[in-house]
Amino acid sequence: MLRRLLLTSVFASGLALTAQAADQVEVLHWWTSGGEAAALDVLKKDLESKGVTWQDMPVAGGGGEQAMTALRARVTAGNPPTAVQALGFDITDWAKQGVVGDLGAVADKEGWDKVIPAALQGFAKYDGKWIAAPVNVHSTNWVWINKKALDAAGGKAPESWDELVALLDKFKAAGITPVAHGGQPWQDATIFDGVVLSLGNDFYKKAFIDLDPETLGSAKMKEAFDRMAKLRSYVDANFSGRDWNLASAMVIEGKAGLQFMGDWAKGEFLKAGQKPGADFVCIRFPGTQGSVTFNSDMFMMFKVGEDKQKAQLEMASAIENPTFQSSFNVVKGSVPARTDVPDTAFDDCGKKGMKDLAEAAGAGTLMGSMAHGYGAPAAVKNAVYDVVTRHFNGELDSDAAVKELVAAVAAAK
Amino acid sequence: MAQAATAPSTRNYLQELLPRLVLAPSFAAVIIFVYGFILFTGYLSFTDSKMLPSFGWVGLENYSKLWALPHWWRALGNLGIFGSLYIVICSVLGLGLAILLDQKIRAEGVLRPIYLYPMALSFIVTGTAWKWFLDPGIGLEHTMHQWGWESFSFTWIKDRNFAIYTVVIAAVWQSSGFVMAMFLAGLRGVDNEIIKAAQMDGASNITIYRRIIIPMMRPVFLSAFVVLAHLAIKAYDLVIALTGGGPGQATELPATFMYSYTFTRNSMGIGAASATIMLIMIASIIVPYLYSELRTGRRS
């Protein structure tokens, strides 16, 4: 009974494999919301014009958690999709399982090594081989300020921590919520990225990339938590559990002064018909000018049969095409993953983002975002989330938070 | 059995074989997909599985890591609060409602389903509805302010010290009608003769309930406890919909802990260890119950 069942299912999956067309890519992703889907459509059309059919496999859910669960099932069953949207250390983790493909043929021909920043290569390559094609670069250390509120408070964008605090006090005096924030662990951690980075590039690197226990337990880290506690005093009472786009809406409507959020927030402002510079202002987190904490969406390529490799390479090449990089990222709100794409099609914030990225890549201050899985693997990232969110919600004071952070990171490593 | 053995005609043989044949596939499926995977999870909890199952033996390391995590203790503490309040309030409310409905009132047929219907909803729906209702910005508090009661304040769902009680409220709202139905069935099963005899002895209604009827409902209490206890331990969807485990980690329960460690934190070993602990908790409730049920079953 059981054996027959097994035999039938093996036979059935064999059939399914052979039934697939040669020039076809199956793509697992979580870009299902309006703007994201529109951006992805650019790639789909591009590939279809080259005769490659696109088999869509969308799995909705913000950070791709559900998508990664679906992927586990497919890989365990021995039938991975051609390409999978993935982030940071997830890519490295999959590569360790020995299931990813090799894009060397395209990457060498097109010279990816020269145009894609080294910090991104650290994730898109494993063991010296290209395994993923980076689509874009988001950076997380942005502040989005309501222009009207800023003008009312003197009109000068803050450049240091003290200036930021002064500005927030003025917002408070003006009767608006100073900081629009959503109390979800990843949002708390996104602010923490900026706060830690504002205390120095080396400090950020040692703490979040090298995970050095001494730095994690240092007095400077306590200072970072103190700053978080200070920022906590500027959010409204009803912040917990709020989605990030609702927080953006508060800034757009002028109910709140500013929001700390990655550049995907720009899409919300643009959708509401606002113009950068005129209605809202984008600046780097005060004290982090010249540095960028990034997260980058990549398409990770899996090991597939030879019949599908051609389409896979075709797709990788299409993703790194400068024209596509420009048109996709204009729609998505991020900046191109290669530094040689002209910035003419981008708005002011986009242009600034591209300039900052190129500068930071040159100066070695382009670092992975801890909050978004580019600083450390998922286990460590979530351990940091735990401590930051508990501290932000008042469960731990700054001294205790520093101790917990050291212990939590050590336990998760 | 004995008859079939003495007269083994083909027809009888088939008749005996048929039920087994019909049950065999589902039995096999249950063996593999329930008990097989329980064993597999137990095995994984002793391995170094991270993102995918792997089979490097690490002994009890995952368990020692698990019990060192403040997050896990938090989840257990919350389960203690949630579980005990949920079971006690549901039982008391359920019994109370059942006694009131049992007074041969009019329109019982209308009232009973009204209390029972919340059980027909999924916990996701309950959680989402209560999330909106309890949210100070759009729900109850906001409405009260609009109606002119400016000083009204109900912000439990945003308060880390009280958020777990909002989970209790929503869960009680969902399940107490079901418990009521169980008790109502129990009350209807009480022999009228006994009650009449007590009434003739001059016992008041309250005494009859306290000394006679409620003690006779012991089996119903036990069933209600078992149903509610396992619902509490596996509670996941309600928390996810209502608070997402927040504010901070204020409403994390073992089930949400297990999911996040297994699937989003790439620590499948620790996740499997927590799942095993949850299984042990449920087993420690169900096994004695089954044992006593089976024993009384055999006696009668």
Using the predicted structure, report yes or no on whether residue A76 has a pLDDT greater than 60. Answer: yes
* Same domain, residue pair A177 and A110: no
Domain that holds residue A232: 141-293+363-412
- Shared domain check, A345 and A208: no
Q: Residue with structure tokens 């053995």?
A: B5
Nearest to A148 by CA among A68, A255, A227, A294: A255
* Optimal mutation site among A71, A186, A386, interface B, most CBs of chain B within 10 A: A386
Pick among A5, A240, A244, A388 to test the B interface (most B CBs inside 10 A): A240
What confidence tier does A333 reach under pLDDT thresholds 50, 70, 90?
Answer: confident
- Whether A19 maps to a domain, the answer reads no
The span from the CA of B238 to the CA of B217, in Å, is 30
Q: From B65, which residue of chain A is nearest by alpha-carbon distance?
A: A411
Assess contact for B246 and A239: CB atoms under 8 A: no
| A19-28 mean pLDDT | 72
- Domain locations in chain B? 70-299
Which one of B243, B248, B266 has the shortest CB-CB distance to A378? B266
**Tokens 């401590």 appear where?**
A387
Q: Is residue A18 part of a domain?
A: no
Query: DSSP readout, B31-94?
Result: IIIIIIHHHHHHHHTTB--SSS----B-TTHHHHHHHH-HHHHHHHHHHHHHHHHHHHHHHHHH
Q: How far apart are CA B130 and CA A197, in angstroms?
A: 39
Q: What is the DSSP letter of A272?
A: T
Nearest to A65 among B51, B53, B264 (CB): B264
- Other Cβ atoms closer than 10 A to B120: 11
CB–CB of B247 and A97 under 8 A?
no
Do both A335 and A373 map to the same domain?
A: no
Q: Which residue of B has its CA nearest to A237?
A: B158
Write the residue in A94, A238, A389 that is nearest to B158 by C-beta: A238
Query: Residues A228-253: pLDDT tens digits?
Result: 999 999 999 888 888 888 899 999 99
Residues A211 and A302 in one domain: no
Distance in angstroms (rounded) separating the CA atoms of residues A261 and A144: 7
Domain count, chain A: 2
Q: In this structure, what token pair is assigned to residue A374?
A: 């580019």
Q: Which of residues 47-66 of A touch B (CB under 8 A)?
A: 65
A83 shares a domain with A228: no
Better pLDDT: A32 or A81: A81
At which residue do the structure tokens 């097989």 appear?
Answer: B36
Residue A8 lies in a domain: no
Residues A116 and A234 in one domain: no
Check if the beta carbon of residue A240 is closer than 8 Å to that of residue A183. yes
Regarding whether A395 and A351 lie in a shared domain, the answer is no
* Interchain CB distance below 8 Å, B246 and A389: yes
- Tell me: do A42 and A188 sit in the same domain: no
8 A C-beta contact, residue B97 and residue B103 = no
Contacts of A68 in chain B (CB under 8 A): 263-264
Nearest to B160 among A2, A394, A404 (CB): A394
CB of B128 less than 8 A from some CB of A: no
Domain check: are A272 and A394 in the same one?
A: yes
Query: What region, left, alpha or beta, does residue A176 occupy, with left being phi > 0 and alpha being psi -120 to 50 degrees?
Result: beta
For residue B246, give the chain A residue with the closest CA: A241
Closest CA to A359 of A139, A110, A157, A112: A139
CATH number at residue A107: 3.40.190.10
Residue A73 near chain B (CB below 8 Å): no
Q: Is the pLDDT of residue A355 over 50?
A: yes
The answer to whether residue A41 sits within a structural domain is yes
**How far is it, in rounded angstroms, from Cα B242 to Cα A240?**
12
A175: left (phi over 0), alpha (psi -120 to 50) or beta: left
Q: Is residue A133 located within the same domain as residue A155?
A: no
Q: Per residue in B220-255, is it b (16+ CB within 10 Å) or e — as a string?
A: bbebbbbbbbebbbebbbbbbbbbbbbbbbbbbbbb
Q: How far is A343 from chain B (nearest CA, A)?
A: 36
Residues A306 and A210 in one domain: no
State percent of chain B over pLDDT 70: 96
Rounded to whole angstroms, the Cα distance separating B24 from B129 reads 42
CB within 8 Å: B265 and A382: yes
B139 vs A: CB within 8 A: no
Task: Dig out the tokens for A267 from the structure.
Answer: 């899409």
Distance from CA of A236 to the nearest CA of B (A): 11
Q: What is the DSSP letter of A375?
A: S
Q: Domain for residue A205, yes or no? A: yes
The mean per-residue pLDDT over the stretch B93-113 comes to 87
A112 within a domain of the structure (yes/no): yes
The pLDDT-based confidence of A131 (bands split at 50, 70, 90) is very high
Least confident piece of the model among A56-65, A312-321, B128-137, B193-202? A56-65
DSSP A98-123: T-B---HHHHHHHTHHHHS-HHHHHH
ipTM of the prediction: 0.73
Query: Which of A65, A188, A238, A243 has the highest number of chain B CBs within 10 A, making it the mutation to test binding with B?
Result: A238
Phi, psi of A56 (to 5 degrees): -80, 135
pLDDT digits (tens, 9 = 90+) for A263-298: 888 888 888 889 998 999 999 999 999 999 999 999
* Residue A5 in domain: no
Q: What is the 3-state secondary structure (H, E, C) of B115-145?
A: HHHHHHCCHHHHHHHHHHHHCCCCCHHHHHH
> What length does chain B have?
300
* Facing residue for B51 by CB, picked from A93, A184, A411: A93
d(CA B276, CA A43): 45
Q: Is residue A15 part of a domain?
A: no
Note the pLDDT of residue A9.
46
Contacts with A411 from chain B: Cβ below 8 Å: 65, 68-69
Q: Check CB contact of A331 with chain B, cutoff 8 Å.
A: no
Among A306, A307, A332, CA closest to A319: A332
Domain B70-299 grouped into CATH 1.10.3720.10: yes
Whether residues A97 and A54 share a domain: the answer is yes
CA A98/CA A218 separation, integer angstroms: 38
